[in-house]
């Protein structure tokens, strides 16, 4: 019986090449999309599950309240780790991680006999407690994780970095020099090399240093007992196996009261501690980053929905074409029933045909996945490999997807065809039922609701991306060359380097700064009016800059003056230049701002005078609202960055000049640079990735929908071939016949526009809520999406309609 079903299925595939091709291609494309997105979702859900103690590792996070405002913070003050381990027996081990927020790169050197063999910049590594490898699992290819960071001058390298530094030679016990605030340009002995796990972990580091090294080590030796401030350490707890995290969390308020309450009161804030499982960190979207950028469960739901809808579109094509062709299969069903076939056997036959088509589509889909995986990696920013496809759970998921697709696509046609009355069929009284026609039209509407929705989403996302690229930021971001100053040598050379650069007529200005717009600025402090208490403070971002900084970046001064070394208050850091957000926060009129004093510190005796006000500017990306910001003069000329404004669009001609001056003044450090505008735009990489994915799947969904429409139109033309012949004999024009065949489909598209518009408006409006500054969704967006849908549908339908209208009526009426 099975062999007979298979033979009939293959015979029907050969008889209807067009419809079979549409079905196989549509289903394979739909399954390819599903498989690729399934791989992506699996990758996102697998973060940090490879650690031996993954079920017992938790990040200690806090919800801090300042003046009634709640702020989520994934970091904690330094003494919390040690106190937690001492206080609670269920805490087996603790470790702290410090991320270098002062620099975006670190200089590494390999030296021999006083000569530099290699020198290059890398992303700064992480500084961790010696217990780090007791909490997190890393596979060492050289050395051992036990005691790897006991020595303050030890370093553990990633395999990739070890190969870059030492080639194919062993790295163990070799010495490297690490610059910047992490290494203080001192020598560190390699005590281990680990296999890089950054592709599946929120912890991404080219190397690990002891937390007691460099600047943070000096800080820890001086600041060990502050339980309210300096929230800059990621603190991880490893609980005993089987410990109840919820019950442990209930103990944390008592911990805060015992150790931190007095410090919190002096700081004018409150703190609530909570635990976050290491397996949930990557998808914890309440904060932008926990060592690496976080993602969102909502985003995965969106991708999952896109995958499901894409597959549904292909399944709908199958169901529509199968039910539309039911008249041609009716005689076969009638004869089978007359010969004694049972309904179950007929259902099995049609489901078998569906499964054959689906398995054929699965084979095509697997080939397409292998071919398009590199392109999808580039599109999604992932590094998935072919070996990921061979995981048993992935292969099982793919097979399950194929079976589900076959059942979904074949179920309605099978049950629909199996209920035909054989007497009606044999007497020629069978036609497609009204319910089948209605369902078919409903499915076409559903297809175009999805397609139109994706078109609207594409237009809105592209509009928001364009808005973010072109929105005035409140400063001049173009032609600003950023030169990092990472070591003591380059910082000391700042003044001389600046003077040399200004000798070039193509460089109109140069300035030093601790931070610049678009990068992380972790430096903040609290401000409050003299008539307020510290509990009413406003958290304010701070930056120490050179006197020229605001002029070089083109900030607009609304009142007062810029900072200057000519004023004693500026050099003593008793004065500040603020943005408009501070004035709004404290209800200070612009005309009365200059000369106003605001307090900081717990005792209220320290005050800062406002000497200037600049127009609000975006120091962070447009996801975030503009908040209070204060500039202070750095009197010591010690900066993290030098920014040079080039007054020509051909910056490439100026860069060799800058590099030559750098090599003269800082010969031991490689010259690196970036452009401020590009650095700022990197904040939108995740949004750009979303836009690219939606764009691709929008095109695919429209393609699948149009394939189904093409098939239905072809079948409709076949069914009405005699009617078209009669109309042509009676004088009907080609245009009128095309309109006759097209109008019903156009009505369906118009219905889809009416349904899709409010649904998509709501969903995209919700998406835009993630941005503090956003576009409005205008009416023309829906008009354009609807117009595109109607236009594409008409092109699809017209091809078959014109072909039918041009047919010779003699051929179609020959048998009448």
pLDDT, position 779: 87
pLDDT, position 470: 82
The rounded distance, in Å, linking the Cα atoms of 569 and 391 is 66
Identify the band that residue 427 occupies on the pLDDT scale cut at 50, 70 and 90. low
Please give the mean pLDDT across all residues of the chain.
82
User: How many degrees, rounded to 5, is the angle at CA 632 between CA 627 and CA 636?
Assistant: 145
Residue 684: in which H helix or E strand, if any? none
The rounded distance, in Å, linking the Cα atoms of 459 and 695 is 9
pLDDT, position 209: 94
The answer to whether the Cα torsion of 380, 386, 392, 396 is positive or negative is positive
Residues 801-810 have pLDDT tens digits of: 666 666 666 6
The rounded distance, in Å, linking the Cα atoms of 404 and 398 is 10
pLDDT, position 5: 58
Dig out the tokens for 684 from the structure. 């939108």
| DSSP line for 467-534 | HHHHS--SS--TTEEEEE--SHHHHHTHHHHHHHHTTSTTEEEEEEES--TTS----EEEEB-TTS-G
- pLDDT: which is higher, 771 or 753: 753
- pLDDT: which is higher, 536 or 567: 567
The rounded distance, in Å, linking the Cα atoms of 282 and 295 is 6
Instruction: Kindly compute the dihedral angle of the four CA atoms of residues 259, 263, 268, 270, in this order, to the nearest 10 degrees.
Output: -10
Give me the helix-helix angle, 434-470 and 685-719, nearest 10°: 150
pLDDT, position 15: 62
Contact by Cβ (8 Å): 669, 487: yes
Residue 303's alpha-carbon distances to 49, 400, 694, 702, 772, in angstroms, are 22, 19, 9, 17, 23
Residues 247-277 have pLDDT tens digits of: 988 988 888 888 878 777 777 777 888 899 9
Least confident of 193-197, 311-315, 408-412, 640-644: 408-412
Closest CA to 369 of 745, 730, 758, 36: 36
Share of the chain above pLDDT 90, in %: 23
Dig out the tokens for 743 from the structure. 């109008």
Residue 740 pLDDT greater than 80, yes or no: no
pLDDT, position 417: 59
Share of the chain above pLDDT 70, in %: 84
Is residue 129 classed as helix, strand or coil in its secondary structure?
coil
Q: Is the pTM of this model over 0.85?
A: no
pLDDT, position 278: 92
The rounded distance, in Å, linking the Cα atoms of 420 and 327 is 10
pLDDT, position 558: 93
State in Å, rounded, how far the first CA of the chain is from the last one: 40
The rounded distance, in Å, linking the Cα atoms of 732 and 736 is 6
Contact by Cβ (8 Å): 697, 306: yes
91-99 and 126-128 beta bridge pairing:
antiparallel
- Those residues with Cβ within 8 angstroms of residue 153's Cβ, 6 or more apart along the chain or in another chain: 186, 187, 188, 189, 210, 213
pLDDT, position 641: 92
Contact by Cβ (8 Å): 212, 177: no
CA atoms within 13 A on the CB side of 764: 28
- Those residues with Cβ within 8 angstroms of residue 444's Cβ, 6 or more apart along the chain or in another chain: 316, 320, 708, 709, 712, 745, 748, 752
The rounded distance, in Å, linking the Cα atoms of 545 and 638 is 9
Range among 12-16, 140-144, 793-797 with highest mean pLDDT value: 140-144
Dig out the tokens for 79 from the structure. 């003494």
The answer to whether the Cα torsion of 402, 408, 409, 414 is positive or negative is positive
Residue 308: in which H helix or E strand, if any? helix 297-324
Residue 812 pLDDT greater than 60, yes or no: no
pLDDT, position 26: 79
Range among 174-188, 318-332, 782-796 with highest mean pLDDT value: 174-188
pLDDT, position 720: 64
* Count of Cβ atoms closer than 10 Å to residue 667 Cβ: 9
* Count of Cβ atoms closer than 10 Å to residue 580 Cβ: 21
Residue whose structure tokens are 């003069």: 633
Please, what's the b/e burial string for 449-468 (b: 16 or more CB within 10 A of its CB; e: otherwise)?
A: bbbbbbbbbbbbbebbbeeb
- Those residues with Cβ within 8 angstroms of residue 337's Cβ, 6 or more apart along the chain or in another chain: 346, 420, 422
Least confident of 314-323, 367-376, 601-610, 655-664: 314-323
Is 746 exposed, middle or buried (CB count within 10 Å of its CB: 0-12, 13-18, 19+)? Answer: middle
The rounded distance, in Å, linking the Cα atoms of 495 and 486 is 15
Residues 165-217 have pLDDT tens digits of: 998 899 999 999 888 788 888 899 999 999 887 668 899 899 999 999 988 88
Identify the band that residue 62 occupies on the pLDDT scale cut at 50, 70 and 90. confident
| Mean local confidence (pLDDT), 720-726 | 68
Give me the helix-helix angle, 734-768 and 721-729, nearest 10°: 130
Residue 68 pLDDT greater than 90, yes or no: no
| DSSP line for 787-802 | HHHHHHHHHHHHHHHH
DSSP 157: E
């Amino acid at each position: 019986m099975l062999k007979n079903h298979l033979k009939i299925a293959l015979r029907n595939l050969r008889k209807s090449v067009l419809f079979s091709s549409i079905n196989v291609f549509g289903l394979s494309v739909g399954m390819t999309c599903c498989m690729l997105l399934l791989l992506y979702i699996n990758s996102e859900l697998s973060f940090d599950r490879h650690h031996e103690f993954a079920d017992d590792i938790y990040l200690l996070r806090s919800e801090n309240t300042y003046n009634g405002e709640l702020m989520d913070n994934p970091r904690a003050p330094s003494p919390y780790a040690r106190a937690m381990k001492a206080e609670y027996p269920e805490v087996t081990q603790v470790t702290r991680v410090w991320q270098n927020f002062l620099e975006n790169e670190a200089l590494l050197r390999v030296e021999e006999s006083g000569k530099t063999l290699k020198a290059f910049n890398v992303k700064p590594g992480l500084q961790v407690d010696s217990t780090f490898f007791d909490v997190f699992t890393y596979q060492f290819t050289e050395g051992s994780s036990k005691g790897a960071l006991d020595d303050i001058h030890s370093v553990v390298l990633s395999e990739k970095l070890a190969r870059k530094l030492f080639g194919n030679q062993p790295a163990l016990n070799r010495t490297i020099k690490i610059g910047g605030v992490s290494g203080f340009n001192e020598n560190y002995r390699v005590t281990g090399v680990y296999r890089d796990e950054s592709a599946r972990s929120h912890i991404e580091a080219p190397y690990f240093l002891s937390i007691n090294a460099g600047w943070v080590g000096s800080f820890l030796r001086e600041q060990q007992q502050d339980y309210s401030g300096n929230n800059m350490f990621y603190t991880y707890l490893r609980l005993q196996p089987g410990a109840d995290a919820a019950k442990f969390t209930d103990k944390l308020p008592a911990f805060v009261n015992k150790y931190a309450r007095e410090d919190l009161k002096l700081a004018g804030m409150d703190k609530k501690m909570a635990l976050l499982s290491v397996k949930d960190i990557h998808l914890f979207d309440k904060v932008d980053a926990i060592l690496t950028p976080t993602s969102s469960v909502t985003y995965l739901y969106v991708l999952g929905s896109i995958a499901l809808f894409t597959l549904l579109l292909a399944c709908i094509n199958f169901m529509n074409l199968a039910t539309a062709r039911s008249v041609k299969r009716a005689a076969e069903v009638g004869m089978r029933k007359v010969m004694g076939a049972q309904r179950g056997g007929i259902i099995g036959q049609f489901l078998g045909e569906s499964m054959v088509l689906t398995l054929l589509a699965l084979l095509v889909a697997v080939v397409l996945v292998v071919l398009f995986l590199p392109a999808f990696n580039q599109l999604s920013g992932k590094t998935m490999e072919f070996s990921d496809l061979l995981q048993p759970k992935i292969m099982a998921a793919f097979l399950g997807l194929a079976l589900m697709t076959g059942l979904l696509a074949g179920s309605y046609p099978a049950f629909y065809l199996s209920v035909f009355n054989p007497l009606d069929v044999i007497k020629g009284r069978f036609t497609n039922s009204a319910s089948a026609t209605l369902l078919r039209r409903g499915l076409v509407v559903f297809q175009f609701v999805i397609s139109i929705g994706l078109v609207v989403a594409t237009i809105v996302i592209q509009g928001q991306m364009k808005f973010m690229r072109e929105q005035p930021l409140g400063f001049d971001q173009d032609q600003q060359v950023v030169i990092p100053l990472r070591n003591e040598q380059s910082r000391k050379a700042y003044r001389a380097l600046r003077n040399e650069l200004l000798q070039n007529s193509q460089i109109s200005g140069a300035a030093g700064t601790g931070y610049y717009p678009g990068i992380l600025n972790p430096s903040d402090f609290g401000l409050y009016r003299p008539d307020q208490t510290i509990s009413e403070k406003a958290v304010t971002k701070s930056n120490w800059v050179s006197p020229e900084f605001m002029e070089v970046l083109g900030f607009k001064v609304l009142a007062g003056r810029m900072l200057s070394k000519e004023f004693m208050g500026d050099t003593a850091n008793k004065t500040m230049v603020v943005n408009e957000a501070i004035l709004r926060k404290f209800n200070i009129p612009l005309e009365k701002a200059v000369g106003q004093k605001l307090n900081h510190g717990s005792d209220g005796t320290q005050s800062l005078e406002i000497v200037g006000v600049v127009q609000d500017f975006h120091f962070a990306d447009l996801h975030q609202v503009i908040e209070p910001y204060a500039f202070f003069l750095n009197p010591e000329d010690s900066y993290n960055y030098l920014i040079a404004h080039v007054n020509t669009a051909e910056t490439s001609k100026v860069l060799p000049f800058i590099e030559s001056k750098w090599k003269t003044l800082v010969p031991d450090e490689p010259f690196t640079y970036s452009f401020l505008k590009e650095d700022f735009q990197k904040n939108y990489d995740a949004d750009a990735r979303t836009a690219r994915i939606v764009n691709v799947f929008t095109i695919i969904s429209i393609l699948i929908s149009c394939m189904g429409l093409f098939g239905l139109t072809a079948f409709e033309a076949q069914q009405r071939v005699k009617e078209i012949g009669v109309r042509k004999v009676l004088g009907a024009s080609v245009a009128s016949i095309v309109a006759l065949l097209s109008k019903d489909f156009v009505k369906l598209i118009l219905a889809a526009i009416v349904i899709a518009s409010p649904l998509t408006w709501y969903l995209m409006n919700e998406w835009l809520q993630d941005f503090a500054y956003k576009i409005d969704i205008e009416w023309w967006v829906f008009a354009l999406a609807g117009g595109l849908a109607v236009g594409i549908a008409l092109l699809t339908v017209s091809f078959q309609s014109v072909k039918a209208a041009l047919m010779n009526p003699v051929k179609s009426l020959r048998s009448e």
